[in-house]
């Protein structure tokens, strides 16, 4: 994702310096050597600087050591950014990642304005979905308490106090930011769509045969795969249906029996973890995306669905509620596991019996994707940079669109940008 930000900001005239973590295992491409789009004008090529995290806490539980490593990475990124800023001052600092309100930022002490986000972290797990968390509910309860008492988090308070402009990926995070004292918070979706991937026509909706349903994601309890499987089984008593599961994760064992039984019954095709070509083929050959997450700041599969013109079924809350609209998704009210299973099954039955509606929803999905492309997001972000500069300078902007430096920080592999902007991030690269 940070690769998309860097190159598309450069294409709209922002000179980006990105602090990155090349040790991040989720970053498949090294942005320092990846080919840049030809549309970037000479002199505006993004600069990627690797900042390694300390990696000194590996004997602790993973949740703790990743957070501590990130704080160590932030300290090193701040030192690097301060050196760069002294040599050639940045106009904007942009903290991109980690995309959460909980971890704060160490990049806000500069005299350059700070832009934050789009961030999440304000979502909680509803008690009605406790059944979705057979082994991790206590952790979810603890996390819920941390979110609800976010005002006591000194890192989060400093994050809001230091930020000149804040972007949130969902309304729940907006509410959490308001509890921290944030004023005007803008909504911006967590991810975007590459315009070259947006199809001219939506996926074809056949008038016969089974309803081909796609589920994509990491198999974690909060992703609600068990609930999705039971909904499909329920719907199968009324319609011909087949669910393709593409994903893997640490909680696969919790749904392994259901996956095996339903695979043997012909209701499920379990593809496991799949590479990008396999995912592209799956999105092009299925009728409906089922996104059953019960706690999520965003939803990359939903953005992919808009590129393919694929209708979706989601729970209407948090990131999925922000990304989707009734025109292209059936949004099941957030309630309880049992009620959501029934509602998802009913939605599947309705869509199976109405291919014309699915086709209309597909066109609406494509329209949503075209409104959320990376060039549009970059243009909007450049406008937010200018707004942050005006706010910091009392209503005047010292830079033009052709001469910006910005500082930005992204999640996954750390990254920092320059209007002249600099971004810093802890774990993302080309995506």
Residue spans of the domains in the chain: they are: 2-192+373-427, 195-370
The answer to whether the beta carbons of residues 430 and 19 sit under 8 Å apart is: no
pLDDT at 109: 64
Q: What are phi and psi of 364, to 5 degrees?
A: -65, -35
Q: Whole-angstrom Cα distance, residue 80 to residue 58?
A: 24
Residues whose CB is less than 8 angstroms from the CB of residue 323 and which lie 6 or more positions away in sequence, other chains included: 189, 190, 298, 299, 302, 303, 314
Residues β-bridged to residue 412: 427
Q: What are phi and psi of 269, to 5 degrees?
A: -115, 110
Q: Whole-angstrom Cα distance, residue 332 to residue 341?
A: 9
Pick the CATH number of 2-192+373-427 from 3.40.50.1820, 3.30.70.2190, 3.40.50.720, 3.40.50.2000: 3.40.50.2000
Which tokens hold the place of 50?
């690797």
Which tokens hold the place of 74?
């932030």
The answer to whether the beta carbons of residues 375 and 8 sit under 8 Å apart is: yes
CA of residue 232 relative to chain centroid, distance: 26
The answer to whether the beta carbons of residues 248 and 275 sit under 8 Å apart is: no
CA of residue 282 relative to chain centroid, distance: 20
pLDDT at 425: 56
DSSP 33: T
Q: Whole-angstrom Cα distance, residue 64 to residue 61?
A: 5
Q: Whole-angstrom Cα distance, residue 164 to residue 184?
A: 10
For domain 195-370, give the CATH number: 3.40.50.2000
Q: Whole-angstrom Cα distance, residue 64 to residue 138?
A: 16
Tally: H helices and E strands in the chain: 13, 15
Which tokens hold the place of 421?
């902007």
Q: Whole-angstrom Cα distance, residue 111 to residue 151?
A: 25
pLDDT in tens, the chain (431 residues): 678 999 999 999 999 999 888 766 556 667 777 889 889 999 999 999 888 877 665 555 656 656 677 778 888 888 888 899 989 999 999 988 776 788 777 776 678 899 998 999 999 999 999 999 999 999 999 999 999 999 999 989 988 988 999 999 999 999 999 999 998 899 999 999 999 999 999 999 999 999 999 999 999 999 999 999 999 999 999 999 999 999 999 999 999 999 999 999 999 999 999 999 999 999 999 999 999 999 999 999 999 999 999 999 999 999 999 999 999 999 999 999 999 999 999 999 999 999 999 999 999 999 999 999 999 999 999 999 999 999 888 765 444 444 445 544 333 333 334 456 666 554 433 23
Residue among 405, 374, 408 nearest 389 (CA): 405
β pairing state of 420-427 and 415-416: antiparallel
β pairing state of 114-119 and 165-168: parallel
Q: Whole-angstrom Cα distance, residue 111 to residue 133?
A: 45
pTM over 0.75: yes
Residues β-bridged to residue 270: 245
Each residue of 17-28: b (16+ CB within 10 Å) or e?
A: bbbbbebbeebe
2-192+373-427 and 195-370, same CATH topology: yes
């Amino acid at each position: 994702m940070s690769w998309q930000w860097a190159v598309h900001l450069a294409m709209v005239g922002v000179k980006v310096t990105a602090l990155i973590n090349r040790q991040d295992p989720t970053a498949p491409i090294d942005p320092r050597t990846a080919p840049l789009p030809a549309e970037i004008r000479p002199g505006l090529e993004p600069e990627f600087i690797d900042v390694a995290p300390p990696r000194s806490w590996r004997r602790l539980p993973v949740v703790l050591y990743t957070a501590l490593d990130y704080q160590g990475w932030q300290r090193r990124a701040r030192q690097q950014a301060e050196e760069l800023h002294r040599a050639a001052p940045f106009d904007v600092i942009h903290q991109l990642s980690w995309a959460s309100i909980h971890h704060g930022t160490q990049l806000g002490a500069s005299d350059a304005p700070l832009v934050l986000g789009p961030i999440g972290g304000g979502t909680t797990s509803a008690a009605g979905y406790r059944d979705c968390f057979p082994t991790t509910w206590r952790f979810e309860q603890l996390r819920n308490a941390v979110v609800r008492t976010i005002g006591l988090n000194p890192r989060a308070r400093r994050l809001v106090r230091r930020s000149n402009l804040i972007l949130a990926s969902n309304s729940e995070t907006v509410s959490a930011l308001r509890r921290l004292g944030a004023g005007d918070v803008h909504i911006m979706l967590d991810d975007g769509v590459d315009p070259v991937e947006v199809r001219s026509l939506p996926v074809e909706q056949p008038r016969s045969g089974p309803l081909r349903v796609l589920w994509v994601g990491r198999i974690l309890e909060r992703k609600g795969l068990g609930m999705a499987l039971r909904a499909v089984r329920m719907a199968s008593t009324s319609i011909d249906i087949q669910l393709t599961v593409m994903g893997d994760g640490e909680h696969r064992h919790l749904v392994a029996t259901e996956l095996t039984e339903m695979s043997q019954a012909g209701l499920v095709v379990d593809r496991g973890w799949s590479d990008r070509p396999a995912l592209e083929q799956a999105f092009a050959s299925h009728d409906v995306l089922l996104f059953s997450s019960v706690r999520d700041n965003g939803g990359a599969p939903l953005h992919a669905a808009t590129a393919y013109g694929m209708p979706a079924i989601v729970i209407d809350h948090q990131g999925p509620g922000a990304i989707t609209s009734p025109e292209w998704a059936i949004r099941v009210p957030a309630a309880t596991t049992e009620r959501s299973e029934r509602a998802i099954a009913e939605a599947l039955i309705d869509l199976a019996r109405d291919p014309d509606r699915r086709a209309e929803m597909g066109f609406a999905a494509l329209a949503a994707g075209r409104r959320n492309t990376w060039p549009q997001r970059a243009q909007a972000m450049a406008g937010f940079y200018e707004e942050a500069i005006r706010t910091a300078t009392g209503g005047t902007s010292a830079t033009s669109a052709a001469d910006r430096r910005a500082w930005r920080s992204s999640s996954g592999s750390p990254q920092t940008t320059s209007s002249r902007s600099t971004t810093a991030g802890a774990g993302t690269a080309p995506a």
